Amino acid sequence: MTVIEKVINDKFKANSYFFIENNDCVIIDCNIKTIEYLYKNKLNPAYMFLTHEHFDHIEGVMQIKKEYPNILIVSSSLTANLIKDKKSNMSYYSDGIGFEEDGVDIYTEDKSAFHFNKHIINTYSTPGHTECGIVIEIGHCLFTGDTVLDVKTPATLLNSSKQQLIASLDFIDNHFDNDTVFYQGHGEPFLKKDWNKDISIGTNKKIKNNI
């Protein structure tokens, strides 16, 4: 049986997802509650994918790598470098102190494929919100990080590009069918058929959640 669960960072409401099959799992993004969920549910993590370098999506990576040394941490090479610096991962600007993470094992390409039990996991480079962004496809599930949100995707931050974001959103719109479920980095999942690209690139109207 396959299930998808999430834990939410209290302060920034960032999602860390678990794609679970029996006691095995794949993690998408990390926050301080991620390791607690692993302990509580006695899960065996095979991979952790980091959608981008921002602190609310990476906190606790090194702790998990220490406690679960066989897990493979996956990200773009840019993300792997930027999480090591508290200003680049933006944690410094949150509290004036910040933190740094490390431990990525595998770098993604423009498109990469991984195997988890009988599942194929595809990753795609989707710069825009940040130059480092990737999305992760498992079956009809697309874990979008902050590339696709049900509100305007921020594209004025460090390493952001509105032009790249528009190109990435066009790719997602053309590549994935309407039954794809978008598991966003903040908020609840929604179907691609309910997505209006204009919301992600500039309007303030929120998408209706029909899941």
**pLDDT tens digits for 10-49?**
889 999 999 999 999 999 999 999 999 999 999 999 999 9
* Structure tokens, 26: 């794949």
Architecture of domain 2-201: 4-Layer Sandwich (3.60)
Q: Is 138 exposed, middle or buried (0-12, 13-18, 19+ CB in 10 A)?
A: buried
Task: Return mean pLDDT, the chain.
Answer: 95
pLDDT score at 206: 54
* CA-to-CA separations, 210 to 176, 179, 207, in angstroms, rounded: 18, 12, 9
For residue 9, the model assigns a pLDDT of: 93
Give residue 1's pLDDT: 85
Helices vs. strands in the chain: H and E counts, helices first = 6, 12
Burial class (CB in 10 A: 0-12, 13-18, 19+), 66: exposed
Structural domain boundaries in the chain: 2-201
Lowest mean pLDDT among 88-92, 184-188, 202-206: 202-206
> Tell me, what's the pLDDT at 203?
59
